Structure 1
Amino acid sequence: MDAADPHAPEGSGRINEASLSREPGLHTWLVGALAIARYHGIDLDPTTFRLDPATPVPSPAVLVEWVREQGMWAKAVRLKWQQLLRLESSGPVMLLMKDGGAVLMVEADASRNVVFVKEPTVSGAGVAVPVDELRLSQVWEGEVVMMRPQRNEEEQDTPLSFGFLTKLVMQERSILRTVGFASLIITFLTIVPILIVYSAVQRVIEYGSMSTLLLITIVLVVTTVLDAILEHARGNLLQVASTRIDAKIQLFVFKRLLSLPLDYFERTQSGVIGQAIGKVYQIREFITGRLLSTFIDASMLLILLPLMFFMQATLAWTIVAAAGLIMLVIACFLRPIRVLTGRLSAAESRKFSVLVETLHGIKTVKSLALESARYSQWDEFVAQAGDVRLQAGRLALWPATLTLPMQRYCQFGVMLLGAYLAVISKNAAEIGSLMAFTMISMRVAGPLIGFTKLMQDFEDVRATMGEAQAVLNNPPEIRGIDRGLRPAFAGAIEFDSVAFTYQGSQRPALNEVNFSVPPGTMLGLVGRSGSGKSTITRLLQGISRDYTGFVKIDGVELRSINLRHLRRNFGVVLQENFLFRGSIRDNIISGRAGLTMEDVVRAARLAGAEEFIERMPHGYDTFIQEGSPNLSGGQRQRLAIARALIVDPRLMILDEATSALDPESEALVNANLKRIGAGRTMVIVSHRLASLVDCTAIIVMDQGKVLDVGTHPELVERCSVYRMLWLQQNRHMTDNQGNTRHGSPTPVLAQGD
């Protein structure tokens, strides 16, 4: 990207779509996005962007979503001229024109009141020209798209910790400074009437001055009103800060969950994960609630405590001593409470896991009449959790009981002691001092007691933090998602001496696997259960990356490829596919930017789903409930295939995609395989060999090794394992050599088109 030329003549250049040098076949906005990405050293893949022919100009939201999917940060905003001049120089930004065109702003010069813009070209060529507000406003209404690389890996991989949460809190320092300033004013408004009482009460009592009493009353009313207004304003600011911190924590948690690798979810109970997320919200409530408010209130102590010692040092020392005793009592109970809190959290996790597992498997529970068994297990875990909760509750009562006398002293006892001191001193001036001190002590006692109790709450949160960290601080796959190469795929696959062992297993799932297939191959994977078929598909998707050897796609080692780019070029259909709540159309699109109804219909037709969708009450707008009870298994599977096909992937995996279907539905899916596979590489895992007879090549797996590779006739002839599997499934249709018997119909699934 060339730098702007500040000395270019101001009259040169017109900003409209006609003057833009477009890249062939690409929309101006897309060219601008590619140019900005190239400026930051990133190459985006324009072939993944789809524009609806009915709407020649894409929406900013679609463009931004596509850029984000490509691994960059992007945001569409509406700015005024003065805001545009103040934009920090962190690379070009794209200004979206009224007529659907775009220009790149490469520099802003506030002193001359101009911005420098240039035509968007991927090469970055072109001269920047200065434009003032009047000329720009004729073709621009304020829409801007900003782009930059994602934040560095260290920020993305930041683990959950108190330090990280403190950093989130400190990001609201501007609001917290305002809150602190308001707290100082509130403290000042607290001190003023106290000082008036301290100096004037004696005069009222001694001389019976009603005017002085009236003045004191007016001052107290005014300061009370101001105090209430400031307290309300401070509360509002704290609510804003808490809400913003809360939103950041929730976004962090959800993004962190999405970044965890699939194998972590496979080996971890859903209940444990759900319980850990619940703990994060407890931590959030502690930080944005008690912790924040306690520290704000504690700031008042810096002013009020010295004033207390100035007025009544003896009484002040007794309050400090009472607070110290409260702190000591709580400190003695911290360790046992921490132990019981850990036990309680573990018991609650076990209980919650039973609940989640039962809800996920409710069909099995109902069909096998397991209600009593599940209820008994739930009853057992509820009893265990209740027992630990009772112990923890009883233990927590002791510090509360033992500290209650000290709390009551801080609230009321200090006033009685002050009255006693005033009586024995026989000094009338002590009455005003006592009243003023009592007013201050009531302000000080709350924060002091709250600060000591904060220690106990912190111990609870520290135990809670450990549970949340056990889930969220697992190594994410974010580096692979946001980093790596983005090659254009043709579909060639190569496994070179690949070995892989699952965590906790002694036997390798793959052992020195070697094979290669050219682009456009329809590759079948067969073998007994546990032979390594699905493991190959997992490695191809980048789900498991700690293998030895080399897995290459078009000659590029898979571990060096950007994970998001890799998976977007794979269409995957599993044996059981999850459909989201929403319409059929929404499920097929699945939130992908730039896809249109035309793409939906094309994918549904290719998957053989169009015929049943059109018979639905509302066609593509038919709503699918959770669990898709209004669809048959074959319909769900064809929708899943359509969802995988809508992005026109270069590679496609069908992992037991037809094993759960009835024969008719399976025949419909298999009849479309040749059409589905046209122009792309397909990897088909199936126990039903009849669905693989038309494959270009079939790999026979056994105990993690490649036993043989060939076509169906070749494998029936020379591979004993394949021949045995074929005969077991088709004995009634073949002779002893595996040849189709005369007069026997060829299996429907083998007929293709």
Structure 2
Amino acid sequence: MVNIPVNAEIQAVPIQAGSAQGDAAGGESTMARIPGGPAEFDKIGPRLKAMLRAARYHGVELDPNEFRAASAIPAAADLSQWAQDAGMWSRAVRIRWSHLLRFQEAGPVVLLFNDGGAALLTGASAERNIVFLKSADAPDDGEAVAIDELRLSQVWTGEALLLRATRSYVAADAPFTLRWLAELVRLESHALRDITIASFTLSVLTILPPLIVMTVVNKVLQFNSVSTLVLLSAVIAVVFAYETLLGHARRLIINVVGARLDTKLQLHVFSRLLRLPLDYFERHPAGETMYHLAQVYRIREFLTGKLLSTFLDMITLCVLVPVMFYINASLAWIVLACAVVILLIILAFLRPLRGRYQRVVDAETWKSAALGETVVGIKTVKALGLEPQRKALWDERVAEAGKARLAFGQLASWPQTLVTPIERVMVLGTMLIGAYLAMNDRTGYMVGGLFAFMMIAQRVAQPLVGLARLVEDYEEVGAAIGEAASVLNRPLESSSNSAGLRPKLVGEVVFSDLTFSYIATKTPALDRVSFHIPAGSMFGIVGRSGSGKSTVARLLQGINRDYSGFLKLDGVDLKEINLRHLRQGLGVVLQDNFLFRGSIRDNIIAGRPGLTLSDAMRAAHLAGAQEFIERMPNGYDTYIEEGSPNLSGGQKQRLAIARALIHDPTILILDEATSALDPESEAVVSANLMRIASGRTMIIVSHRLASLTECDNILVMDQGKVLDVAPHATLLERCALYRQLWSQQNRHLDGRHGRPVAVPPRLV
């Protein structure tokens, strides 16, 4: 423990700041469930305690189970990320004493001490040159301690964490539009300012070579002035050297800005994609979604390429156009007139090109959907010999896309055809007219001016044409933004990560008069469903196909929230609970589980990367997966390829159960988890069910009634309605549908001898 002594002039008690050992113990305890009561609060370290108190001040309840400790002493970056994951704004900083004195009316600031302890800065007095600190262990109504700079500097070197609640409207929640992209570019204003200054300077330097050429023709050649030629040569050397260095620096800045914009754009896109609801992915093919999101790369190229280069060209035009008028106004008007004609031609073709391009987008979308569907379902294609049918579909989609692109290309070639002669007039036409004017010029200075004008005109013509074509490029990018927005601007699962309550989960579930219908269906999937699952019990759900069994599991996971009636978890309406907090308290095992590319250990601890091999082994043992993992050549380091070809269905399922158990969930949902298992694997999983269910609520959705006989209660559903809720033996006596299902599944045991079906005894 660290004592901060207090000056005799300041009447205050010493602050007791926790040590690193306390945090180490706290970090270890976060591997288990910490509901958050007083006893559990005392088990965690001072740094986590300080973060919890600071977050509560802003109305956010952090969960110690979500903290991922990279070391025994929690680092500032890890603590900041923990708060950000909970939906707060957080930043790890290093600040000075003078900065602390400015926090007079702000919320608590977490100060991290050198020994691993922490305290809360609750106020400051610049007049008295003191700050007020509160220990992480101090009661909520405890008074803060006044500390001066000398005493604080003995244990603190400036490391701190700033926290506040996230504002209701953040950039991550903004719709994906051109306005959002413009705001993204505006954030790079400092770099763009440097690029503008460099571009303006380079534009000024581009004036010098034409003027020097004009001077050489009009002065050096006409009067044979060698001294002027030497002076001009020296000026050219200096200008070229400066132009080379400045151009190199500008390109470096442009690359940095492009990389930053690209990174922010891709991070935003992936973040929005992860927050889309599951039903969106169920209704849209993966290939379609990937094609729409691929348009982001076209947007990125426009922002960092065409748009930026046109912006720089505009700076060049602002400098060179006045010089053109200064040299020869008549020729300058010709160049501008040609540019206006090019712009009008492009504008005339925009609307028909827009329609043709939309047909290209639609055709490419369907083509990508066919490709993605074939790749995802390749096992079915191979098993059923569907290669000819899929190839015929692909040929049709390719033909449609090719036809659409051909039609678009034919129309798009007309603006280029009409613009090409006008571009030639801008360069060659002005040269011919300028030559005619020079022949009739009696002063003799027109020849040098013509040379200078032609050099400048070549530099001006291309930006003017590029500026006109920017409108055409903008139309294509506008379409690309619309395609990406069709995915990214879908309603998200929650308005922000911080939305919703974070109650302590115990495991009690109550459905009360709940009705739910899927989109575009009239028949409700659940019709006035009511039942109660006590905390810590085993609860089974059975019924015919389409009876609503899996819908109950979906609603519990918060996948669908647009239901009527009530679904309460530990007395709290599930709609009010933060989705991330809810799903971290759930463990879900599906009938067909996806394993990620990586080692077996990485797949088991996927939801808790900070856990160790021993944690993975414990979860694997509980799921009955340890015996086959240890038989593998590399054990827990065995690499799993995409699609898990080196694992059987039963092995995949047991790994999925281990992955669901790794974070010790309050509620475990097995949604047809054993239906695809072979008898041996099902026997292993069933033998471990009682151990798995210990201390948690287990909900088993299954059509195999034999796996539900040990459940405390079984819910029988039919056509979205509840028929009965009772233990296995009771249902056999009073529920006709349950008795029928049981007889159908067990007739092979005694049907041949005509004996009645025996009811297996319940294990106590």
Question: How far apart are the structure 2 equivalents of 1:434 and 1:12?
Answer: 87
Matched, 1:627 2:630: no
Question: How far apart are the structure 2 equivalents of 1:737 and 1:709?
Answer: 27
Which residue in the other structure is 1:531 paired with? 547
2:283 paired residue among 237, 244, 267: 267
- AA of the residue aligned to 2:503: P
Query: Displacement, 1:292?
Result: 1.5
Shift in alpha-carbon separation, 1:449–1:504, aligned structure 2, 3 A: same
SS of structure 1 residue aligned to 2:42: coil
Query: Displacement, 1:456?
Result: 0.9
Which residue in the other structure is 2:579 paired with? 563
Question: How far apart are the structure 2 equivalents of 1:414 and 1:98?
Answer: 74
Which residue in the other structure is 1:147 paired with? 163
Question: How far apart are the structure 1 equivalents of 2:11 and 2:431?
Answer: 78
Residues 670, 752 of structure 1: 8 Å contact kept: no
2:619 paired residue among 558, 579, 603: 603
Question: How far apart are the structure 2 equivalents of 1:262 and 1:689?
Answer: 29
Question: How far apart are the structure 1 equivalents of 2:446 and 2:580?
Answer: 76
Shift in alpha-carbon separation, 1:38–1:407, aligned structure 2, 3 A: same
Residues 73, 150 of structure 1: 8 Å contact kept: yes
Query: Displacement, 1:117?
Result: 4.8
Further displaced range: 318-327 or 114-123: 114-123
Which residue in the other structure is 2:50 paired with? 32
Shift in alpha-carbon separation, 1:632–1:19, aligned structure 2, 3 A: closer
Matched, 1:69 2:85: yes
With the length of structure 2 as denominator, give the TM-score of the two structures.
0.90
Further displaced range: 424-433 or 157-166: 424-433
Count of paired positions: 738
Further displaced range: 99-108 or 484-493: 99-108
Further displaced range: 579-588 or 82-91: 82-91
Residues 94, 104 of structure 1: 8 Å contact kept: yes
Residues 15, 135 of structure 2: 8 Å contact kept: no
Once the two structures are superposed, residues 363-407 of structure 1 have per-residue CA deviations (whole angstroms, 9 ceiling, x without a partner) of: 112222222222222122111111111221222221112111122
1:257 paired residue among 268, 273, 277: 273
Matched, 1:426 2:442: yes
Once the two structures are superposed, residues 221-275 of structure 1 have per-residue CA deviations (whole angstroms, 9 ceiling, x without a partner) of: 2212212221221111111111111111111100111111011110011111000
Which residue in the other structure is 2:144 paired with? 127
Runs (5+) with no aligned partner, structure 2: 1-5, 24-40
Once the two structures are superposed, residues 69-105 of structure 1 have per-residue CA deviations (whole angstroms, 9 ceiling, x without a partner) of: 333244446x375896699886444343332222344
- AA of the residue aligned to 1:284: R
SS of structure 2 residue aligned to 1:384: helix
Query: Displacement, 1:185?
Result: 1.1
Query: Displacement, 1:611?
Result: 2.1
Matched, 1:341 2:349: no
Which residue in the other structure is 2:670 paired with? 654
Residues 50, 110 of structure 2: 8 Å contact kept: yes
Query: Displacement, 1:111?
Result: 10
Shift in alpha-carbon separation, 1:400–1:681, aligned structure 2, 3 A: same
Alignment of 1:342-357 (within 5 A): 342-357=358-373
Residues 198, 432 of structure 1: 8 Å contact kept: yes
Query: Displacement, 1:57?
Result: 2.8
2:722 paired residue among 706, 723, 740: 706
1:45 paired residue among 41, 55, 63: 63
Shift in alpha-carbon separation, 1:565–1:732, aligned structure 2, 3 A: same
Further displaced range: 523-532 or 375-384: 375-384
Question: How far apart are the structure 2 equivalents of 1:112 and 1:610?
Answer: 64
Once the two structures are superposed, residues 113-147 of structure 1 have per-residue CA deviations (whole angstroms, 9 ceiling, x without a partner) of: 98765432475545254454x76665456654443
Query: Displacement, 1:357?
Result: 1.1
Query: Displacement, 1:571?
Result: 0.6
Alignment of 1:305-454 (within 5 A): 305-454=321-470
1:497 paired residue among 513, 518, 538: 513
Shift in alpha-carbon separation, 1:480–1:15, aligned structure 2, 3 A: closer
Question: How far apart are the structure 2 equivalents of 1:319 and 1:418?
Answer: 12
Question: How far apart are the structure 2 equivalents of 1:682 and 1:583?
Answer: 28
SS of structure 2 residue aligned to 1:482: coil
- AA of the residue aligned to 1:419: A
Query: Displacement, 1:723?
Result: 1.0
Query: Displacement, 1:697?
Result: 0.8
Which residue in the other structure is 2:693 paired with? 677
Query: Displacement, 1:216?
Result: 1.9
Question: How far apart are the structure 2 equivalents of 1:299 and 1:470?
Answer: 35
Query: Displacement, 1:496?
Result: 1.1
Shift in alpha-carbon separation, 1:61–1:203, aligned structure 2, 3 A: closer
Query: Displacement, 1:220?
Result: 2.1
Shift in alpha-carbon separation, 1:304–1:19, aligned structure 2, 3 A: closer
Further displaced range: 275-284 or 201-210: 201-210
Shift in alpha-carbon separation, 1:12–1:495, aligned structure 2, 3 A: closer
Residues 76, 143 of structure 1: 8 Å contact kept: yes
Shift in alpha-carbon separation, 1:521–1:16, aligned structure 2, 3 A: closer
Shift in alpha-carbon separation, 1:593–1:526, aligned structure 2, 3 A: same
Question: How far apart are the structure 2 equivalents of 1:581 and 1:126?
Answer: 53
Question: How far apart are the structure 1 equivalents of 2:97 and 2:320?
Answer: 45
- AA of the residue aligned to 1:45: D
Residues 586, 666 of structure 2: 8 Å contact kept: yes
Query: Displacement, 1:416?
Result: 2.6
Residues 15, 139 of structure 1: 8 Å contact kept: no
Which residue in the other structure is 2:597 paired with? 581
With the length of structure 1 as denominator, give the TM-score of the two structures.
0.91
Question: How far apart are the structure 2 equivalents of 1:164 and 1:352?
Answer: 27
Matched, 1:612 2:628: yes
Which residue in the other structure is 1:295 paired with? 311
Matched, 1:286 2:307: no
SS of structure 2 residue aligned to 1:502: coil
SS of structure 1 residue aligned to 2:715: strand
SS of structure 1 residue aligned to 2:312: helix
- AA of the residue aligned to 2:724: D
Further displaced range: 532-541 or 413-422: 413-422
Query: Displacement, 1:112?
Result: 9.7
Shift in alpha-carbon separation, 1:175–1:19, aligned structure 2, 3 A: closer
Residues 607, 659 of structure 2: 8 Å contact kept: no
Question: How far apart are the structure 2 equivalents of 1:578 and 1:312?
Answer: 72
Query: Displacement, 1:56?
Result: 4.3
Residues 193, 219 of structure 1: 8 Å contact kept: no
Which residue in the other structure is 2:568 paired with? 552
Shift in alpha-carbon separation, 1:139–1:230, aligned structure 2, 3 A: same
